[in-house]
Structure 1
Amino acid sequence: MTNDDLSLLVETSDEWIRTRTGIRKRHLATTDLSLSELSAQAATQAIAMANLTANDVDLIILATSTADDLFGSAAKVQAILQANRAVAFDLTAACSGFVFGLITASQFIRTGVYKNVLVIGADILSRWVDWSDRSSCVLFGDGAGAVLCQGSTDEDRLLGSAMYSNGEQHEALNIGYDGTGKKLKDGITVNQGTYKPITMKGRDVYRFAVEKVPEVIEKALFNAQLTTDDVDWLILHQANQRIIDSVAKRLKIPPQKVIANLDEYGNTSAASIPLALDEAVRQGKIKPGEIIASSGFGAGLTWGAVIFRWGI
């Protein structure tokens, strides 16, 4: 769906959206496509790139805020893949989900519990967008991305990381529950309802991101005993091009080292970083041995960063 398409739904324009966000279009899931199926598509490609089979996977971590089932969708992904040996669970940290998932996977690998861990970032936010709210509907798209993390005796390529949360700013971005009382008997009333569309305080989120993201990347680099000069590529959550540019400028990372594709996909939440990583790898931009700094940030509010050396 292009910006011009959106201008037929709400009072906006291609120029208004591009100048404020950097987004030109976004891809939306069809009505018959489940989050589990979309996740499995990305996972299948990641497993193939790693020259493994689904039966080699020990653990599946699905980072998502839009599961098909409130109880979780990771086990359904496991079934679709026929990854019969794998345990699977959902991880919810909104737009920070993939980074949090990657860090979580590293702990299982480092302790020797699992060797092959599939980390998927996937969201279908179009199902939770108010398409009459021009401040939010122009931002979001659907997508899924995945990586296969594998234990190695040669070197630990996850060089440094950091994670943070601040629940006091929860209201800045959420998909809140909305229910009403249902009386079951005298003295017993339960609350039943569903979730409301995405609400966001754009300026608050912007200020939060441009302040906290450079800090968390510097913390992760410190933990890795590296500096920004050692970074070959910067891949941020694809929320807004102005945020990406501002963070890169504060870190003094030149534009040619910044990977961005939100002009094509919009904000795909937990999927945005692995989508950008996958494209850059398949295009030959990112080479084995290069150091990547990545940061996710969003609802919660949560934010985190990971520094890793790419290897395949």
Structure 2
Amino acid sequence: MLRRDDPLTEHAPRPIPVLEAVAGCVPPRVVSNEDLPQHWETSDAWVRRRTGIGTRHWAGEGTSTGDLALTAAEAVLAKCATRSVDLVLVTTSTPDHPIPAMAPALAAKLGLAGVAAFDVSAVCTGFVYGLATASGMIASGIARRVLLVAADVYSTLIGPDDRSAGVVFGDGAGAVVLRAGERGEPGEILGFDLGSDGAGHDLITVPGGGARDRAEPGRFGEQDRHFRMSGREVYQHAVARMTESSLAVLKSAGWTTADVDRVVAHQANARILSSVGSRLSIPDEKILGNIERVGNTGAASIPLALADAVARQEIHAGERVLLTAFGGGLTWGSAVLVWPEAD
């Protein structure tokens, strides 16, 4: 049961959210640029030049977002001293069902029935929003340990003739465990910057399939149940918002861009990542990512990139890390933390 066992007072130290572990997974099917549908008329050189992507993973028949979420959750809990958590959060844009939320079912499959569980929806910014939600629960004293899982299966949303989105997106899941810690402890999450602009809600969207579709019969067709993105406008918004948000969260933490050891941004497009790094004056060697191997995995992209960086020993304890993301809504967000001893 989710509750605050120890009411906070002005004299009691506020719990500090600390990152304990990270893990990720992708489905086994690898789709290279040469494997993309022939009628898209692409080539490996064309896709790499436009996106920086060489391969992506697509879930096969019978594999859902919930399946990937469960695999990532099991992997991250296996890295922890205990499987016990007070709260399970799932962030996704491709839930297994419109109702109910995915988190309660995931908690039950993990043997955590009875704990609080709910979903967070912020498209590709979902992981940062979820991280802020989990951190707030810990800082308020409501939860001591939180499991946050980000998972998306975008291959189920791409229209059969949508080359522009089809070459970009892959499927995957990433998970982290946060716990209550102390100020200055490795893994400490130092701050967030979050924002949105609903005036741009139609720039990244799946128009049909929801309550609006049912409320206005005849307005939406089958094609409206597929993913749509206005690429040029999204590019401009993504670069500007992630840059601004990164600078804001660095300022709140008392850091400058020179203090940052590692940057892990939402793996949207290699050109976006390069532009954000350039605007922040952060050298390429500090920017970590795996977009070339997995593509854009939606909300899962940041934890997947973190898990990959750990596996490749590209990130080390004590390093100052900046996370930043942009997604539909429009939404954006950034976070800063000190990397823990995580494997």
**Shorter-chain-normalised TM-score: which range?**
over 0.9
List structure 1 runs of 4+ shifted beyond 2 angstroms: 153-156, 178-182, 189-195
Q: Is the 8 A contact 1:7 1:14 kept in 2?
A: no
Aligned counterpart, 1:62: 90
Q: Is the 8 A contact 2:208 2:220 kept in 1?
A: no
Q: Is the 8 A contact 1:235 1:294 kept in 2?
A: yes
| Alpha-carbon shift at residue 191 of structure 1 (Å) | 8.9
Aligned counterpart, 1:210: 239
Aligned counterpart, 1:160: 191
- Residue from 219, 234, 239 that aligns with 2:248: 219
Q: Is the 8 A contact 1:180 1:193 kept in 2?
A: no
Aligned counterpart, 2:146: 117
Is 2:69 the counterpart of 1:16?
Answer: no
- Residue from 303, 307, 310 that aligns with 2:332: 303
Aligned counterpart, 2:15: none
- Counterparts of 1:37-56 in structure 2, within 5 Å, are 37-53=67-83, 56=84
| Alpha-carbon shift at residue 272 of structure 1 (Å) | 0.3
User: Take 1:272 and 1:120, find their aligned partners in 2: how far apart are those partners?
Assistant: 11
Q: How many equivalent residue pairs? A: 304
SS at match of 2:181: coil
Q: Is the 8 A contact 1:9 1:131 kept in 2?
A: no
| Alpha-carbon shift at residue 34 of structure 1 (Å) | 2.0
Q: Deviations over 1:206-238 (max 9, x none)?
A: 010111111100000111111111111000000
- Counterparts of 1:253-272 in structure 2, within 5 Å, are 253-272=282-301
Question: Residue 4 of structure 1 aligns to which amino acid in structure 2?
Answer: E
- Residue from 32, 43, 53 that aligns with 1:2: 32
SS at match of 2:40: coil
Q: Is the 8 A contact 1:34 1:68 kept in 2?
A: yes
Question: Residue 34 of structure 2 aligns to which amino acid in structure 1?
Answer: D
- Residue from 24, 27, 32 that aligns with 2:62: 32
Q: Is the 8 A contact 2:90 2:148 kept in 1?
A: yes
Question: Residue 38 of structure 1 aligns to which amino acid in structure 2?
Answer: L
| Alpha-carbon shift at residue 152 of structure 1 (Å) | 0.7
| Alpha-carbon shift at residue 155 of structure 1 (Å) | 3.5
User: Take 1:146 and 1:249, find their aligned partners in 2: how far apart are those partners?
Assistant: 29
- Residue from 307, 310, 313 that aligns with 1:278: 307
Identify unmatched segments of 5+ residues in structure 2. 1-30
Q: Deviations over 1:150-170 (max 9, x none)?
A: 111354611121001001111
SS at match of 1:210: helix
- Residue from 90, 103, 128 that aligns with 1:74: 103
Q: Is the 8 A contact 2:324 2:334 kept in 1?
A: yes
User: Take 1:141 and 1:248, find their aligned partners in 2: how far apart are those partners?
Assistant: 23
| Alpha-carbon shift at residue 6 of structure 1 (Å) | 1.1
Relative to structure 1, is the Cα distance of residues 190 and 248 closer, same or farther in structure 2, using a 3 angstrom cutoff? closer
Aligned counterpart, 1:170: 201
- Counterparts of 1:79-98 in structure 2, within 5 Å, are 79-98=108-127
SS at match of 1:151: strand
| Alpha-carbon shift at residue 200 of structure 1 (Å) | 0.8
- Counterparts of 1:237-248 in structure 2, within 5 Å, are 237-248=266-277
Question: Residue 198 of structure 1 aligns to which amino acid in structure 2?
Answer: F
Question: Residue 89 of structure 1 aligns to which amino acid in structure 2?
Answer: F
SS at match of 1:49: coil
Aligned counterpart, 2:174: 145
User: Take 1:190 and 1:8, find their aligned partners in 2: how far apart are those partners?
Assistant: 33
Identity %: 40
Q: Deviations over 1:181-224 (max 9, x none)?
A: 79xxxxxx899987610011100000101111111000001111
SS at match of 1:88: strand
TM-score (norm 1): 0.93
| Alpha-carbon shift at residue 287 of structure 1 (Å) | 1.3
Q: Is the 8 A contact 2:191 2:336 kept in 1?
A: yes
RMSD: 1.9
Aligned counterpart, 2:230: 201
User: Take 2:124 and 2:57, find their aligned partners in 1: how far apart are those partners?
Assistant: 17
Aligned counterpart, 2:323: 294
| Alpha-carbon shift at residue 50 of structure 1 (Å) | 2.3
SS at match of 2:192: strand
